[in-house]
Amino acid sequence: MPTIKVDETRCKGCELCAAACARKCITMSTTFSATGYYPAVCCAPDRCTGCGLCYQVCPDLAITVFKEEKK
């Protein structure tokens, strides 16, 4: 199953990834990160298709997309 990982030390909470996600899998955290921002979090990993739109729009390169390898 594809999923994303957000590096909370790089995310500045701009919300571009949440706006770009067609499946609404990303929301902003309700707690501050160590850098003082509300980072993005994957709130619905079961809906994530691994399309990479969130990764592409992130100006801080804080998102990594993981896809399952087909065997």
CA neighbor of 22 nearest in space, from 40, 55, 48: 48
Percent of the chain predicted with pLDDT > 70: 97
The answer to whether residue 71 sits within a structural domain is no
Q: What does the pLDDT average to over 9-32?
A: 97
Separation between Cα atoms, residue 16 and residue 2, nearest integer Å: 20
Q: Tell me the CATH number at 12.
A: 3.30.70.20
Give the domain range for residue 34: 3-66
Query: pLDDT digit string (tens) for 24-45?
Result: 999 999 999 999 999 999 999 9
Integer CA distances (angstroms), 8 to 3, 11, 22, in order: 16, 5, 22
The answer to whether residue 27 sits within a structural domain is yes
The total number of structural domains in the chain stands at: 1
Residues 6+ apart with CB under 8 A from 32: 38
Residue 70 has what DSSP assignment? P
Query: What's at 16, amino acid-wise?
Result: L
